[in-house]
C-alpha cells in the first residue's frame, strides 16, 4: 500500500524540540503542518530535557538518525558548545537554536537573528536609527543584540540582573558582529550600556524599542521586571514570549499608553521557517505556518 503523507512508518524521520520547560510550545503544531504540506516523511516532536541532560539528548538524537533539532530556553548557549561545526551567525552569537545532523556531525545554526528582524519588519518597526532596550542576556538576547548592532541601532541598552554577564556579552558582540554581514556595513556601531533593573528608568524614557528576551512572563504569577509607569508611550514594546499571547509586560504597557505592542509569534514563525529551510534546503510554506500558528487552540491566556 502506498504511503500517504499522514502515515508514520519505518522510514519516518524525527526532528526534536528540546527545552526545559517545553509544554508551552506551539512549534510542534505549526511545524508538523508545514511538514505535511511539504510531503516529507518527518515528524516534529517536543521533549522536555533538563539542562544537565542536553548533551545526552543531542547525541542520542544523532545516534537514532534524527534529521535535526531545535533548542529553546534554556539550551541555546549550551547547544553551541556541543556542536561539531557552527554557521557564522551562531559562532558570533555563541548560541544555537537549530541543529542539523549530517554525516555523523552536529551542525549548529541560529535563526533568531533572522526571526527578530523579520518579525519587527512585519510590525513596521526596525532597528535602524533606533534607541533599543533589551532585557536579558541569554540565547535570545544574544541574537537580538547582534541584529540591532548589525541593522544600525544608534543606542543599545542591555538590562540584566548580572551586569557583568551583560557587559561580557556586549563587548563580545561589538567585536565580532561585523562577521554576520556578508556585505560590509557602513553605519557606525551603536553606543552601548549595560545596566541593572534598578537603573532602567532613564533608558526607558528615551527608548524607541523595548524587547523582553527573558522567560519572565511565561507564568501568570511572574512579576514585571520594572515599574511600568517608566514606559514612554511612544515606545514599541515587543515580548519574545508568545504563550501566553498577552504577558504582563504587554498588558501593562498598553495600560500605560504604549499604542504599539507585539508578542513573540512573529519571531517564532520566521525563525521556524528558516530552520525548515536549513533542514530541507527548500522554501518553507510560510503563510500556512502563520495560519496554523494563529489558531486560538495553540495558545493560553494569563
User: In this structure, what CATH number is given to the domain that contains residue 142?
Assistant: 3.40.50.720
Residues 6+ apart with CB under 8 A from 133: 156, 157, 159, 200, 203, 204, 207, 209, 210, 211
- Distance in angstroms (rounded) separating the CA atoms of residues 4 and 74: 36
Number of structural domains (the chain) is: 2
The verdict on 227 and 287 lying in the same domain is: no
Cα three-residue angle 236-267-51, rounded to 5 degrees: 115
- For residue range 277-288, list pLDDT tens digits in order: 999 999 999 999
CA 113 – CA 150 distance, rounded (Å): 10
Catalytic residue chosen out of the listed positions 76, 201, 254, 260: 76
Q: Are residues 62 and 186 in the same domain?
A: no
Please, is 123 exposed, middle or buried when counting C-beta atoms within 10 Å of its C-beta (0-12, 13-18, 19+)? middle
**Is residue 224 located within the same domain as residue 171?**
yes
Q: Supply the range of the domain harboring residue 210.
A: 114-263
Name the grid cell of 238: 515587543
Contact 97, 111 (CB under 8 A): yes
Q: Are residues 133 and 236 in the same domain?
A: yes
Mean pLDDT along residues 131-135: 98
Alpha-carbon separation of residue 294 from 38, 125, 247, 287 (angstroms): 20, 21, 16, 11
CA distance 148 to 173: 11
The residue ranking higher by pLDDT, 113 or 5, is 113
Active site residue 76: yes
Question: Does 25 share its domain with 39?
Answer: yes
What's the CATH number where 17 sits?
Answer: 3.40.50.10860
Region 30-49 average pLDDT: 97
- For the chain, percent helix, then strand, then coil, each to nearest 5? 40, 20, 40
Q: Which pLDDT score, from 0 to 100, does residue 302 have? A: 39
What does the alpha-carbon distance between residue 98 and residue 25 come to, in Å, rounded to a whole number? 15
Q: Are residues 238 and 275 in the same domain?
A: no
Residue whose C-alpha is closest to residue 238's, from 276, 210, 217, 196: 210
Does residue 120 lie within any of the structural domains? yes
pTM comes to: 0.92
User: Is the domain of 139 the same as that of 24?
Assistant: no
Q: What is the pLDDT of residue 209?
A: 98
Q: Say if 233 falls within a structural domain.
A: yes
Mean pLDDT for 162-176 is 94
Of 249, 245, 190, nearest to 214 by C-alpha is: 249
3-17, 150-164, 229-243, 253-267: lowest mean pLDDT where? 3-17
Tell me the pLDDT band of 189, cut-offs 50, 70 and 90: confident
Q: Of 101-110, 173-182, 289-298, which gets the smallest average pLDDT?
A: 173-182
In a domain, 254, yes or no: yes
Amino acid at each position: 500500500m502506498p504511503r500517504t503523507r499522514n502515515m508514520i512508518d519505518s522510514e519516518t524521520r524525527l526532528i526534536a524540540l528540546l527545552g526545559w520547560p517545553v509544554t508551552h510550545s506551539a512549534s510542534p503544531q505549526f511545524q508538523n503542518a508545514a511538514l505535511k504540506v511539504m510531503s516529507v516523511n518527518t515528524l516534529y516532536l517536543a521533549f522536555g530535557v533538563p539542562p544537565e541532560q542536553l548533551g545526552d539528548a543531542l547525541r542520542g538524537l544523532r545516534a537514532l538518525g534524527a534529521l535535526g533539532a531545535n533548542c529553546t530556553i534554556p539550551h541555546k548557549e549550551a547547544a553551541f558548545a556541543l556542536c561539531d561545526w557552527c554557521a557564522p551567525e551562531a559562532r558570533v552569537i555563541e548560541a544555537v537554536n537549530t541543529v542539523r545532523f549530517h554525516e555523523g556531525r552536529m551542525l549548529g545554526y541560529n535563526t533568531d537573528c533572522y526571526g527578530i528582524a523579520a518579525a519587527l519588519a512585519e510590525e513596521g518597526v526596525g532597528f535602524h536609527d533606533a534607541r533599543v532596550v533589551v532585557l536579558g542576556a541569554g540565547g535570545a538576547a544574544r541574537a537580538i543584540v547582534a541584529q540591532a548592532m548589525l541593522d544600525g541601532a544608534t543606542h543599545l541598552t542591555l538590562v540584566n540582573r548580572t551586569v557583568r554577564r551583560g557587559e561580557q556579552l556586549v563587548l563580545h558582540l561589538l567585536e565580532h558582529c561585523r562577521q554576520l554581514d556578508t556585505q560590509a556595513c557602513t553605519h557606525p556601531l551603536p553606543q552601548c550600556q549595560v545596566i541593572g533593573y534598578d537603573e532602567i528608568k532613564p533608558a526607558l524614557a528615551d527608548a524607541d524599542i523595548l524587547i523582553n528576551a527573558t522567560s519572565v512572563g511565561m507564568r501568570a504569577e511572574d512579576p514585571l521586571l520594572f515599574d511600568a509607569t517608566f514606559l514612554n508611550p511612544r515606545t514599541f514594546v515587543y515580548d519574545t514570549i508568545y504563550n501566553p499571547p498577552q504577558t504582563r509586560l504587554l498588558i501593562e504597557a498598553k495600560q500605560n499608553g504604549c499604542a504599539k505592542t507585539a508578542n513573540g509569534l512573529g519571531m517564532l514563525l520566521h525563525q521556524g521557517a528558516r530552520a525548515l529551510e536549513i533542514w530541507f534546503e527548500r522554501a518553507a510554506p510560510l503563510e500556512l505556518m502563520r495560519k496554523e500558528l494563529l489558531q486560538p487552540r495553540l495558545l493560553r491566556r494569563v
